[in-house]
A = this chain, B = another copy of it.
Amino acid sequence: MLIVQKFGGSSVADAAKIERVAGIIADAYRAGNEVVVVLSAQGDTTDDLIEKAKEINSNPSKREMDVLLTVGEQISVALMAMQLEKMRLPAVSLTGWQIEMNTNSAHGAARIKSVSTERIRRELDKNRIVLIAGFQGVNKYGDITTLGRGGSDTTAVAVAAVLGADKCQIYTDVDGVYTADPHRVAGAKKLDAITYDEMLELASLGNQVLHNRSVEMAKRYHVDLEVLSSYERKPGTKVQEVVKPVERMIISGVVKDAKIARITVAGVPDEPGVAFRVFSVMGRARINVDIILQSAGRGGTTDISFTVAEDDADEAKAALEAGADAIGCDHITVDRDVAKVSIVGAGLMHAPGMAVRMFEALANSHINIQMISSSEIKLSAVIPRADADRAVAAVHEKYFGES
């Protein structure tokens, strides 16, 4: 069996952790598998390098940041190779350019275009454990690029895809995907399996276990993913195309996102084309808009509300104010006292009475819903931020409670 394993930065932060991870790798190798390992930079290495850069230049070019940051993963793979050598296991480290991890030229957030299997295959054929520096690639000019946040997950999935790996295991500091944040919600349950689409929704909604791009790629290339713990040897959560009914719950998770803001564009003419003008402004400012609510018109004017990431709120307001004349609005307000609570589940909307239980839970908790948004597998409600944790607990209890 060909297994791709990925370990994050906290899993390889020091010599002791490297030794533990090497044990996991060794077990897979000694069981007769071909093993390819993707590593992130050790613990704080990336932050330390960023700090070194900022000391010199507060706004360095992205090209040079990529040259600087990619050393982190190169250090990790070299050290892991040395650890495996000590255990008398044959290992070889490879960088992004050595496996021809070709990307476009978007430094800092490059997209993978192709990966060569040649060098990896050659090393596997020599019975070596192949250690690949995650997060990094090379563009058509031969310049070093990086894949952005969560890039090592994407490296692992891309490598698994081109090699036709039987498994892609993402080892993290949690032991799987939970129905809610286990640090905050009592009774949060680990899922045995989840579909790509559900995982994508959870990731978009703030579940940080897997990066969206890696899940999208896994879905596209049918890579069997598993999220599991670097610290405990036990099964994690499988992420796959279809989850067998016996394994699954209709709801796979309850998620909170408190880092949003609601923008209201008040007093716009109640006429066709207004929404288009508002969201054109957001598009030009490259700000993602999430939930949209257009209130019923009254007296020839209406209000348009929508949510954005809290970090984008000021920029959104400024862009709208600059375009206020063209939009024809009265005034613009920003409300940060909001949060979004969502449930995710494949087939959610096809299970009669399933969605409504979320509203029931919120109503029983006297939590006021300001906006609602639904998709095939997701239902979100915008509520006061102060009520967010209580809302998650109530909704989770409603779906997963023992009662």
State whether the Cβ of A163 lies closer than 8 Å to any Cβ in chain B. Answer: no
Contact indicator B97/A78 (Cβ below 8 Å): no
12 contacts between A and B (CB under 8 A): A15-B52, A19-B56, A49-B75, A52-B75, A56-B86, A57-B83, A60-B82, A61-B85, A67-B78, A68-B74, A71-B74, A74-B74
Contacts of A78 in B (CB 8 A): 53, 64-65, 67-68
Which residues 127-145 of A sit at the B interface, judged by CB distance below 8 A?
142-144
Min C-beta distance of A130 to chain B, whole Å: 13
A5 within 8 A of B: no
Are the CB atoms of B86 and A64 closer together than 8 Å?
no
Interface residue A119 (Cβ < 8 Å from any Cβ of B): yes
B residues within 8 A CB of A119?
Answer: 142
Please give, as numbers and ranges, the residues of chain B lying within 8 Å of A55 by CB-CB distance: 15
Residues of B within 8 Å of A214, CB to CB, are none
Whether A223 sits at the interface, judged by CB under 8 Å, is no
In the complex, what residues of B have CB within 8 A of residue A60's CB? 81-82, 85
| B52 close to A64 (CB less than 8 A) | no
State in angstroms the CA–CA spacing of A79 and B65 once bound together.
Answer: 9
A205 CB-CB contact with B under 8 Å: no
Q: Mark A58-94, 1 if CB is under 8 A from B, else 0.
A: 0011011101101100110111011101100000110
On whether A64 and B81 interact (CB within 8 A), knowing A71-B71, A75-B71, A142-B98, the answer reads: yes
Q: How far is the CB of A13 from chain B (nearest CB, A)?
A: 12
Residues of B within 8 Å of A392, CB to CB, are none
Determine the chain B residues whose CB is within 8 A of the CB of A52 once the complex forms. Answer: 15, 75, 79
Are A86 and B67 in contact (CB-based, < 8 A)?
no
Extra inter-chain contacts (6) besides given A19-B56, A53-B79, A57-B83, CB under 8 Å: A56-B82, A67-B74, A68-B74, A68-B75, A68-B82, A98-B142
A18 is an interface residue with CB less than 8 A from chain B: yes
The 4 A-B pairs of least Cβ separation, nearest first, read A71-B71, A68-B78, A57-B82, A60-B82
Task: Give min CB distance, A365 to chain B, whole Å.
Answer: 52
User: Which residues of chain A (82-130) have a CB below 8 Å from chain B?
Assistant: 82-83, 85-86, 92-93, 95, 97-98, 119
Residues from chain B with a CB closer than 8 A to the CB of A77 are 67
Closest B residue to A18 using CB positions: B56
Interface of A is mostly: helix
Task: Sort chain A's interface into a size bin.
Answer: 35 or more
Q: Nearest-CB distance from A145 to chain B (Å)?
A: 13
Select A56's contact among B15, B68, B93, B98, beta carbons within 8 Å: B15
A57-B74 CB under 8 A given contacts A64-B93, A68-B79: no
**Closest-CB distance, A259 to chain B (whole angstroms):** 30
Residues of B within 8 A of A75 (CB): 49, 52, 68, 71
Complex Cα–Cα for A134 and B307 (A): 50
Give the distance in Å from the alpha carbon of A113 to the alpha carbon of B81 in the complex. Answer: 27
A82 close to B98 (CB less than 8 A): no
Q: Which of B19, B82, B142, B144 contacts A61 (CB 8 A)?
A: B82
Cβ–Cβ contact A57 & B85, under 8 A? yes
With both beta carbons as reference points, the residue of chain B lying nearest to A19 in the complex is identified as B56
**Residues of chain B contacted by A92 (CB below 8 angstroms):** 63
* Of listed A63, A78, A81, A86, residue having the most chain B CB within 10 A: A78
Q: Which of A247-303 touch B at CB < 8 Å?
A: none
Report Cα–Cα, A142/B92, bound state, in Å.
13
Least CB distance from A106 to B in Å reads 18
Closest residue of chain B to A53, judged by CB?
B82
CA distance in complex: A143, B97 (Å):
11
